[in-house]
Amino acid sequence: MRPLDLCDTYLLRLEAEHARVPSIYVMEPELIANESGLLPHVYDTGSLCVSDLGDFRPGMLFVDTVLPWTLEWLIHYEQWRATGTWYGDGPDRLDGDSQADVLHPYSPEQAPSSVRGSVRLPAPINAPSRPRRASATARSTTNARHR
């Protein structure tokens, strides 16, 4: 997928099970962490955090939900790589504390073998298993990210 003409093209893997929120992985190109080994809005498995809990329900089409949310995540990722700021949670979350809240460590050893090596990061140091939720304003602004 290529979110915009100026963006990279990404090879994604979508894993879905009946009645469960699907998982999205970036297979290529490798995602690049900041100098502290952190990426915004990823789970410790390497799956992208693209919506809030409850946003995706069984029966919803991926083309209407998870895929557009993933494209939006990729656009924000590229902006973050260029500027060091994650704009995906809305203008009320651009302060230093909010920016720190969206960053999450990831260890490639914890990823399923099918995606191992698709994210180049050092091992986490006593990290929470999930990033934190955004404010209600930010969720409505960004089509709801799940943290």
Asked if the peptide bond before residue 122 counts as cis, ω within 30 degrees of 0, the response is no
pTM score: 0.72
- CA dist 92 and 78 (Å) reads 20
Q: pLDDT digit of tens for each residue in the chain (147 aa)?
A: 899 988 999 999 999 888 788 899 999 998 999 988 899 999 988 899 998 888 888 888 898 999 999 999 999 999 999 999 999 999 999 999 999 999 998 655 555 555 554 444 333 334 344 444 443 334 334 444 444
Contact call for residues 70 and 15 (beta carbons, < 8 A):
no
